[in-house]
Amino acid sequence: MKLMERLIAGVTIYAAGIAAALLLGQPAVAETTEEQRTVFQRALEFQKAGDLESAESAYMEVLALKRDSAATFNNLAKLYEGQGDNNKALAYFRRAVNVDDPNNAFYRYQYAEMLKKTGNDAEAARQFQRVALHQPDAIQAHREVMDYYLTDGQSDGVQIAEYLWGLLKSGNALRAAEAATQGLQLGDFDRSTRIELMTIVAAALGRPTVTEDQAKKVRAELRTVAEGYLEPCVEELERLYVTPAGEFPWWAEQGSPYDEPPRGIWRREAFRSIARNLGRRAELAQNSELAEVYYRTAATLHPEGLDPLAFEALVKLYARTEQIDRIEELANDRRYVRQLFRQKNEFYRRGQLKKIYDYHVTLGHIYGALAQRDPRWWGDSETPGSAVFQLERAVMVGEKVDAVDVGVVELLAGYYSVNQPGRDVKLRLDAAQHLTSTNRHAAASAIVKPLRNESLQPIDRTRLEMLELK
């Protein structure tokens, strides 16, 4: 019998932890004391020998020593399942999954199997879904979820959308795209759900982890649903990959750019993420002209809701290719900068700090790039149309939303080192500390590289040494 079949259908295993490690990427976990391990092992031996009464008694002894033993609850559940006592089995499975345990996903998968076996398909799907969202390699759990949602009468648009957005958030972009496409092909969903599924596909294709070949395959599958109100959606999406210049009205359509959707992101933002991603790929291929077209398409997809992230990418592209005049054109173009300021102010009114941060970063890069050529653009901390104002606020808001833009730090630290010596040291150390806490060690090392150890104050030298950067 295969390992998965033996573990799910079989007797149970002290090795439940080991099985989880093999199947779901979890570490094997033993009972915490020698006495608990001894009793647990004895229970296993009884169970393997078919002495289920003695096994049950030994497991209860383990619970007397350790009240919340997920492995013991799981094994008791399997024991009762083998005896045909489904009610007791379900009760102990529930207790197992409610314990904070490294092997929780393994126990939850077995609980879901038991729920399905006893006819509770809806709850089984919810449990399979929790496994799939927390375990990237739990492919069978994902298949169980999709099978449920695509079964006649189970096509709940809200639930499948929430699940697929969750997949995307957990980093499973390709799986989310493929599953959303499957839902469009096979699911009996209403119009709003089908539009949302298409949005999920676009949001997934906008992730850098989805390769060009993978994206091409997904797009080919989308052509099978290109009819009716989805036909212009698929046509515009395909056109973006081939001729990115022009208008894309289906994807640009949306309500207020300041309102949040019920789930995920608006289709406009999903489409922009693809354009920005394609722009980055064009840059990597050293095709600056094509990259510019993609960034501009994303930036101006809708005039009432400019994309600050695309403008930031565009400014960085111009700076890298020494086209500072193009950046100055953007800064002096009232259609763009005035609208960016207007949008930023509206997000301030609504208290949406993450959005505010994006605008300060973008405006900081615009003015900071100009200040590299003409110091008058540095301005001061009180002038909104200046580099210092926007960069300082990008740092301040970034602290509140737990974000660091390395380019912002470099620009502002460069200004401080000349005009306000000492402030650059604190700025770099603060940024490096945050970057190391999020495992961005290379970026942290680059941020502190300009600091000369021998010229630092003792307290700053100590902070630098504590970062333990190479």
pLDDT tens digits, residue range 454-464?
788 889 888 98
Residue 1's pLDDT band, with cuts at 50, 70 and 90, is very low
- Provide mean pLDDT across the span 300-318: 94
- Provide mean pLDDT across the span 119-148: 93
pLDDT at residue 31 is higher than 80:
no
Q: What is the pTM assigned to this prediction?
A: 0.85
Residue 273's pLDDT band, with cuts at 50, 70 and 90, is very high
Q: How far is Cα 421 from Cα 414, in angstroms, rounded to an integer? A: 10
pLDDT at residue 280 is higher than 60:
yes
- Lowest mean pLDDT, pick from 27-41, 67-81, 276-290, 301-315: 27-41
Q: Measuring CA to CA, how many Å separate 301 from each of 138, 144, 260, 414?
A: 38, 38, 18, 34
pLDDT at residue 24 is higher than 60:
no
Of 45 and 163, the structure prediction assigns the larger pLDDT to 163
pLDDT at residue 12 is higher than 50:
no
Q: How far is Cα 60 from Cα 73, in angstroms, rounded to an integer? A: 9
Cβ-contact 93, 114 below 8 angstroms: yes
pLDDT at residue 23 is higher than 60:
no
Q: Residue 229 contacts by C-beta under 8 Å, 6 or more apart in sequence?
A: 191, 195
Domains and CATH numbers, the chain: 1-149 (1.25.40.10)
- Provide mean pLDDT across the span 168-181: 96
pLDDT at residue 17 is higher than 70:
no
Distance of CA 468 to the CA centre of its chain: 28
Q: How far is Cα 406 from Cα 213, in angstroms, rounded to an integer? A: 31
Residue 355's pLDDT band, with cuts at 50, 70 and 90, is very high
Of 165, 173, 161, 115, the closest CA to residue 141 belongs to 115
Q: How far is Cα 31 from Cα 54, in angstroms, rounded to an integer? A: 19
Structure tokens at 140: 């069978």
Scanning 137-260, the segments in alpha helix (DSSP H) are 139-149, 157-169, 173-186, 191-205, 212-222, 231-242, 249-252
Cβ-contact 391, 368 below 8 angstroms: yes
Average pLDDT, the chain: 89
Cβ-contact 347, 354 below 8 angstroms: no
Q: How far is Cα 107 from Cα 128, in angstroms, rounded to an integer? A: 11
- Lowest mean pLDDT, pick from 145-154, 291-300, 303-312, 410-419: 145-154
Q: How far is Cα 378 from Cα 252, in angstroms, rounded to an integer? A: 35
What's the pLDDT at 153?
Answer: 61
What's the pLDDT at 453?
Answer: 74
Of 252, 248, 229, 253, the closest CA to residue 238 belongs to 248
- Provide mean pLDDT across the span 437-455: 88
Cβ-contact 411, 431 below 8 angstroms: no
